[in-house]
Homo-oligomer: A and B are copies of this chain.
């Protein structure tokens, strides 16, 4: 071992090629301004030294002076890789990675953010997210206070998933849940369903609320009647008899992972899916789930959301004008759990 490891600096390159640090910087940045000219041979010598040493500018120093790193931070409120929700988040990340690769940016996973109360926090972090040019925010729940602070500080970021204003508009690339849910409600109406129910978590997270609101709005438009239940999986299951007694013929299930347990219970109650009752899955399961039934519902364009989130961020950083709040359409999925009401 050589013992002392030191970062190669422009100063080193300068020494090797017999020029000043300024010249190295000029060559690196390929400045063609009038007033700054470098002789071709000098340029060659510098580039050679750079190639030999494999020199790369220190992003931290660069950031001190200029404004860009070509590093995009990815902040997730949960760990990225550990399983659990991984299957849900993976497509978002795939899209993010794809866009980043195309833009020639690296991704900084902000793993060092301390987990406080079961969740990572942005601002308790020594503000390490500031190393990135901007951030992508991923995760269903976002701390409203932190969001507001990001907005207030004019920090460039884009949320994957729609967010309510937080002291100002929040840039996001979300999914059009109201539209997707409305389409499903309309489909159920056409099949003859009149009494519908929404089975949700009661969460106030935008992604949840948007589904719920889309449901109630669609009810009014289609002239159907509906009930909205809120609770954990087990509570929802427990309240099925009550819904059945009420004459409900189609269930709109907020969390698709709940569909199978609900269907199992419904079958036990003498209402098999879809002959006895219809069940609709509003999106993709956010936790691992197996299903015997191919549930009708919609697919969240997760990969595309990730892709566009990076594009929006890139536009924000370049100060280009762009639509910074986007809702992407969800693909309807025609499965086998939505059928005409019995009788």
Chain A residues with CB under 8 Å of chain B are: 1-2, 4-5, 7-8, 54-64, 67, 69-71, 79-83, 86, 90, 93-94, 96-98, 100-101, 103-112, 115, 123, 126-131, 153-154, 156
Contact = CB atoms under 8 A, between A and B. Distances in A.
A174 to B, nearest CB: 20
A35 B325 CA distance: 54
A100 B112 CA distance: 7
Given A56-B127, A59-B131, A86-B90, A107 B111 contact: yes
Contacts of A130: 7-8, 54-56, 58-60
Nearest to A2: B154
B131 A56 contact: yes
A101 B79 contact: yes
Nearest to A94: B81
Given A60-B60, A154-B5, A108 B108 contact: yes
Contact of A112 (B5, B80, B106, B115): B106
Contacts of A107: 108-109, 111
B111 A153 contact: no
B97 A5 contact: no
B128 A56 contact: yes
Contacts of A57: 126-127
Give the number of times this chain occurs in the complex, counting copies.
Answer: 2
Contacts of A98: 79, 82
Contacts of A7: 67, 130
B59 A5 contact: no
A112 B123 contact: no
Contacts of A80: 93, 97
A70 B5 contact: no
A8 B59 CA distance: 22
A258 to B, nearest CB: 25
B60 A64 contact: yes
A156 B5 contact: yes
A236 B115 CA distance: 49
Contacts of A79: 94, 97-98, 101
A280 to B, nearest CB: 26
B81 A97 contact: yes
Closest 8 CB pairs of A and B: A81-B94, A56-B130, A107-B109, A81-B93, A104-B112, A100-B111, A101-B111, A82-B94
Given A60-B69, A62-B126, A106-B111, 10 more contacts: A1-B154, A2-B154, A5-B156, A7-B130, A58-B127, A58-B130, A60-B130, A103-B112, A105-B112, A107-B108
Given A94-B81, A153-B5, A110 B106 contact: yes
Contact of A97 (B71, B96, B109): B109
Contacts of A93: 80-81
Contacts of A69: 59-60, 131
A27 to B, nearest CB: 14
Nearest to A127: B59
19 contacts: A2-B154, A5-B154, A55-B130, A56-B131, A58-B130, A59-B126, A59-B127, A59-B131, A60-B64, A63-B131, A79-B98, A79-B101, A81-B93, A83-B94, A104-B112, A105-B111, A106-B110, A107-B108, A107-B111
